[in-house]
């Protein structure tokens, strides 16, 4: 845009000041014009503007006039536009500028502490209600699927199984390998103090089979597949694909959520088995390198330490974690409203809720399998 010039000349009148404006009142000159004109406002005096010399005025120029009038009113000074050029007449006539005059409302309302706490509590209660409703819906859906498995969209289950299971295998194995190494190093430093390094395999195997294996795999599932489920369904929500499904008589829960829950429920125990084997490999390597434990001794100890019930406990946990993570992630996706920002927000919420529900369920299972009382 070419450089614009803007000039103000003052003339004293009996009521106040007459300001003759000349040049262009636009994006380039607006801020300076407002600041110069505002400095001339005097309480109790009248500011008259002669816009006859203004040869160009755009939206910013009109905004200057509106703000100037508001400032005059605030300082109890008079304001009038004494004359206008043709361009000013046209621009100022586009809208009723008087309607835009009331004081600007507070641009962003700041909530007080109690309002924030109250709002968050209400939101939490609403969220819990939604989770309970969704769990109920999913339970009915699963029960109906058990009664008539032919109605399940098995092709969608297989596709999701590939992305949730097969494609997650490398990252799960890599993480579990490192967990095996870490547990071994920790076991050596603690058990070594008592000369009990021979029990490192017991520690690692029990921890992996019962707790860490399902937990770590669930966290990976929540972060990887849970986020993907929420983003996918959320985007479908934004682009009205969910509405389209409903309009065709499909139940989105049955169509989208059930295959994901089933796929996750199948994939997770498999991932757990593979992950635990790799974790044991990591532990064996570390043991052979840093302790006197031999390979036959390690295998013997693991065989002795891990019972069938421990193994199944881990698998049961893994199945429930997966179904819950998939379900809650899909629920978050369904909650998306609006646009891209909402998809991001609910995807994050899906991961957080997935991890939270995993740990909560783990605590319940631990109490159930090992009653403390």
Partner 1 sequence: MAENSIIEVKDLTIGYGERVVMRNLNFSVKKGEIFVICGGSGCGKSTLLKHLFGLYAPMSGDILFKGKSMVNSSEGEVAEMLRDMGVMFQGGALFGSDTLLENVMLPMQEYTDFSPELLERSARFKLALFNLSGFEHFLPSEISGGMKKRAALARAMALDPEVLFFDEPSAGLDPRSSASLDQTILDLNASLGTTIIIVTHELDSIFTVAQRVLFLDVEKKTMTALASPQELKNDKSNETVWNFFNREPF
**Torsion over CA of 338, 344, 349 and 350, rounded to 10 degrees?**
100
Q: How far is the CB of 104 from partner 1 (least distance, A)?
A: 6
Q: How far is the CB of 244 from partner 1 (least distance, A)?
A: 17
Nearer to partner 1, 107 or 308 (CB): 107
106 binding partner 1? (CB under 8 A): no
Nearer to partner 1, 31 or 167 (CB): 31
Q: How far is the CB of 74 from partner 1 (least distance, A)?
A: 11
Instruction: Please pick, from the candidates 87, 142, 245, 288, the single residue that binds partner 1 as defined by CB under 8 A.
Output: 87
Q: How far is the CB of 310 from partner 1 (least distance, A)?
A: 48
- Specify the stretch interacting with partner 1 by CB under 8 A; choose among 93-101, 147-155, 281-289, 316-324: 93-101
Instruction: Please pick, from the candidates 14, 94, 148, 193, the single residue that binds partner 1 as defined by CB under 8 A.
Output: 94
Nearer to partner 1, 129 or 337 (CB): 337
Contact 232, 333 (CB under 8 A): yes
Report the site for partner 1 in 63-82 (rule: CB under 8 A): 63-64, 66-67, 70
174 binding partner 1? (CB under 8 A): no
Report the site for partner 1 in 328-367 (rule: CB under 8 A): 337-342
100 binding partner 1? (CB under 8 A): yes
Report the site for partner 1 in 230-259 (rule: CB under 8 A): none
Give a three-class secondary structure readout of the chain. Answer: CCCCCEEEEEEECCCEEEEEEEEEECCCCHHHHHHHHHCCCCCCCEEEEEEEEEEEECHHHHHHHHHHHHHHHHCCCEEEEEEECHHHHHHHCCCCHHHHCCCCCCCCCCCCHHHHHHHHHHHHHHHHHHHHHHHHHHHHHHHHHHHCHHHCCHHHHHHHHHHHCHHHHHHHHHHHHHHHHHHHHHHHHHHHHHCCHHHHHHHHHHHHHHHHHHHHHHHHHHHHHHHHHHHHHHHHHHCCHHHHHHHCCCCHHHHHHHHHHHHHHHHHHHHHHHHHHHHHHHHHHHHHHHCCCCHHHHHHHHHHHCCHHHHHHHHHHHHHHHHHHHHHHHHHHHCCCCCHHHHHHHHHHHHHHHHHHHHHHHHHHHHHHCCCC
- Site for partner 1 (CB under 8 A): how many residues? 32
Residues whose CB is less than 8 angstroms from the CB of residue 321 and which lie 6 or more positions away in sequence, other chains included: 214, 217, 218, 221, 268, 358, 361, 362
- Specify the stretch interacting with partner 1 by CB under 8 A; choose among 86-94, 111-119, 213-221, 247-255: 86-94
Report the site for partner 1 in 5-64 (rule: CB under 8 A): 26-27, 30-31, 34-35, 58-60, 62-64
Q: How far is the CB of 65 from partner 1 (least distance, A)?
A: 9
Report the site for partner 1 in 175-214 (rule: CB under 8 A): none
- Specify the stretch interacting with partner 1 by CB under 8 A; choose among 87-95, 113-121, 227-235, 364-372: 87-95
Q: How far is the CB of 105 from partner 1 (least distance, A)?
A: 8
* Residues in contact with partner 1 by the rule CB under 8 A: 1, 26-27, 30-31, 34-35, 58-60, 62-64, 66-67, 70, 87, 90-91, 94-95, 97, 99-100, 104, 107, 337-342
């Amino acid at each position: 845009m070419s450089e614009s010039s803007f000039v103000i000349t003052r003339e004293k009148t009996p009521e106040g000041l007459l300001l003759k404006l000349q040049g262009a009142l636009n994006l380039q000159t607006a801020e300076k014009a407002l600041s110069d004109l505002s400095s001339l406002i005097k309480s109790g005096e009248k500011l008259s503007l002669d816009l006859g010399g203004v040869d160009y005025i755009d939206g910013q120029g009109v905004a200057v006039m509106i703000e100037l009038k508001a400032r005059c009113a605030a300082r109890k000074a008079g304001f009038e536009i004494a004359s206008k050029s043709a361009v000013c007449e046209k621009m100022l006539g586009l809208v009723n500028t008087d309607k835009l005059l009331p004081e600007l409302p507070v641009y962003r309302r700041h909530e007080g502490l109690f309002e924030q706490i109250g709002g968050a509590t209400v939101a939490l209660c609403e969220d819990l209600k939604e989770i309970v409703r969704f769990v109920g819906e999913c339970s009915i859906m699963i029960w109906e699927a058990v009664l008539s498995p032919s109605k399940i969209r098995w092709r969608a289950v297989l596709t999701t199984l590939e992305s949730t299971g097969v494609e997650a295998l490398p990252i799960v194995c890599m993480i579990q390998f490192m967990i095996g190494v870490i547990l071994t190093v920790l076991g050596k430093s603690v058990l070594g103090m008592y000369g009990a390094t021979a029990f490192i395999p017991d520690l690692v195997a029990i921890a992996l089979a019962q707790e860490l294996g399902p937990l770590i795999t669930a966290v990976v599932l929540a972060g990887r597949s849970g986020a993907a489920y929420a983003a996918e369904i959320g985007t479908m929500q934004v682009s009205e694909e969910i509405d389209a499904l409903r309009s065709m008589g499909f139940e989105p829960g049955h169509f989208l959520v059930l295959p994901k829950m089933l796929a996750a429920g199948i994939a997770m125990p498999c991932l757990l088995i593979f992950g635990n084997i790799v974790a044991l490999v990591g532990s064996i390597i570390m043991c052979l390198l840093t302790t006197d434990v031999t390979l036959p001794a390690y295998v013997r100890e693991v065989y002795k330490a891990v019972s069938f019930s421990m193994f199944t406990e881990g698998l049961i946990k893994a199945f429930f974690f997966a179904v819950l993570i998939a379900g809650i992630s899909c629920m978050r996706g369904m909650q998306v409203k609006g646009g891209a920002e909402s998809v991001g927000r609910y995807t994050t919420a899906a991961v957080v809720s997935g991890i939270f529900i995993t740990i909560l369920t783990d605590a319940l299972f631990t109490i159930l399998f090992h009653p403390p009382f």
